[in-house]
Structure 1
């Protein structure tokens, strides 16, 4: 008995050490200096894209000190009066507006949060804004901003695991400033535990509370003007949440067999999603989503492949960003029991390839700005520029200067420069 137990302990310790050593060697092999900024004007180091400043109506103020962005948000957390923030874990939706200040002196892609050592963060919420807005007022405010925008684009961001309300709000503001983005930004803040040890509970929540996000997407699309383009950007575990919500919208049909008029006239047959017919486009009918962007998805490849077909039915285009040096997903695959036999879909070693209406863009490094190789979606200057070209210029991957085709035999694969 003791011998068997002893052997088990030795085996566990040995495999753990080998795993840690392997990670260490891989980390050193993929380390690189901070990525260069591919924008014009001499590779600017200042915040935003110095060669091209955003004119979004979501910018409340821009001066020599920096820029203040208005962020529309929907959160599943309850508000804590003592902490002055959304910190609770309830599932009820709350709507509001807030403002984020981003100083001009920071480097493009940088974002930090207050700590005991550094109480002055790079990005911070400076006004709690209109908290507790009625949904009608919330959507009306977004529509007013869209009407005033040069580009009729709305970008809704879904954060990942271990992210709190403040981080989610500041991240989408920083990305909008640094792309730069010309439209209206919305943060959907699902009820993450915002705790490193909350991984499994976060995973449960992504499979339980996602219908709320589907409802927000359906309502937003139904109220937006026809020419407005709706984009979804999800990160890490937020991709599970997003996939579940989009798949629900793509397959949902209320009371099959009843005439559509019954759904609108009889409250008993009221559908779960307003404007649900738009999520079943036929023939030349426009799809409800312009772009769905999956960044570093913490998702099993089989799950992704099963769901992506439904997403393609409702989105004009899909872009997947993945990194073979994503060490957060390296740990995740062992936590999720994949071990040596598989990789998360956000790890380019999973073997996922692009195809019709879906592009896969690969990264291959970590840096001091992204030490885990997992937050590049918001910190890599090249990727931020690539997002602008994708969303605003509508440029196909073949002509975007931010990516390059691989060498033989990987000439059909695309890599971020």
Structure 2
């Protein structure tokens, strides 16, 4: 069997934080790109994490962040975050003008990288165990929202090496579902190349590809294409975790046929209350989505 189904909350790789599966990113107070600018903290940082980011979004005119337009080339970055000691659950409190590191996530360092430097940084941790984690965000995410969410997950999961965010050009809008679907497909080749570059490095023994919502669709498309291309070097190291994936049931069956047998079964986390999947189901003519399946149903089992 190629897939193992589970509910949020099981002890899986990079999954102790999956309360985030409640769906669409909040639009009430979206953080501006200024939250990406490094801050020198007066107070001591309670916890620090490093993460890496690769994006095919276009850079904003002020140079501070990235927008929703599709870029012709990739940008690689490295961030250091101060993680708040008083954080609650998976909630993210963005930095204010005078940030409080006890309550707020704060960027304390930011650096643009070359593609080769990104892989070196992903494997350079003193306790690196050969595992690299790649997070692919879902529908309705801005670059900064995806980055801070990756920082929160990395802090809660206690990863041994810096996780890598792959941020595709989501429109960051509830009404941008169709646009996001096109942007995800547009980004498939870039994600394939990232996975291929990681697999080529002998220091990398396992690649955990973690796709949430529409990012799960993109992850499966990239993996299926790699298999069809005969990239055994990548497939032998690939482990796929899908969190509330926004994938039509029949499309998922087709992707599984393309993938065939995998050394490590796909882990599928489902959430019947995911709001993003409710929207996509309606837009898709009420067709069922894999991320909303009832795993207690004998037919599904």
Q: Closer, same or farther in 2 for the Cα pair 1:412/1:195, shift >3 Å?
A: closer
Shift of 1:100: 2.0
For 2:233, the equivalent position in structure 1 comes to 278
Q: Closer, same or farther in 2 for the Cα pair 1:120/1:311, shift >3 Å?
A: farther
Q: Out of 124, 139, 161, which is 1:144 matched to?
A: 124
For 1:296, the equivalent position in structure 2 comes to 244
Shift of 1:411: 12
**2:287 pairs with 1:345:** no
Matches within 5 A, 1:2-401: 65-80=45-60, 82=62, 84-91=64-71, 92-113=73-94, 124-127=105-108, 129-131=110-112, 133-145=113-125, 148-225=126-203, 228-253=205-230, 276-279=231-234, 287-289=236-238, 291-311=239-259, 313-314=261-262, 316-338=264-286, 342-349=287-294
Q: TM-score, normalising length from structure 2?
A: 0.76
Contact 1:143 1:224 in 2 (8 A): no
Contact 1:246 1:310 in 2 (8 A): no
> Higher RCO, 1 or 2 (CA under 8 Å, sep at least 6)?
2
Q: TM-score, normalising length from structure 1?
A: 0.56
Q: How many residues align?
A: 261
Cα distance in 2 for residues equivalent to 1:346 and 1:196: 18
Q: Closer, same or farther in 2 for the Cα pair 1:324/1:152, shift >3 Å?
A: same
Structure 2 alignment gaps of length 5 or more: 1-7, 12-42
Contact 1:72 1:142 in 2 (8 A): yes
Higher Cα radius of gyration: 1
Q: Closer, same or farther in 2 for the Cα pair 1:223/1:150, shift >3 Å?
A: closer
Structure 1 alignment gaps of length 5 or more: 1-34, 39-62, 254-275, 281-286, 350-361, 363-405
Q: Closer, same or farther in 2 for the Cα pair 1:180/1:140, shift >3 Å?
A: closer
Q: Closer, same or farther in 2 for the Cα pair 1:115/1:143, shift >3 Å?
A: closer
For 2:17, the equivalent position in structure 1 comes to none
Runs of 4+ in 1 over 3 A off after TM superposition: 35-38, 112-116, 119-125, 309-315, 409-413
Contact 2:76 2:115 in 1 (8 A): yes
Cα distance in 1 for residues equivalent to 2:209 and 2:158: 16
For 1:380, the equivalent position in structure 2 comes to none
Shift of 1:155: 0.8
Give a deviation string over 1:27-73, Cα, whole Å, max 9, x none.
Answer: xxxxxxxx9999xxxxxxxxxxxxxxxxxxxxxxxx97532211111
Secondary structure (helix, strand or coil) at the match of 1:90 reads strand
Structure with more of its chain in helix, by fraction:
1
Give a deviation string over 1:87-131, Cα, whole Å, max 9, x none.
Answer: 252332111101222201012322244699xx9795545145111
Contact 1:157 1:172 in 2 (8 A): yes
Moved more, 215-224 or 323-332: 323-332
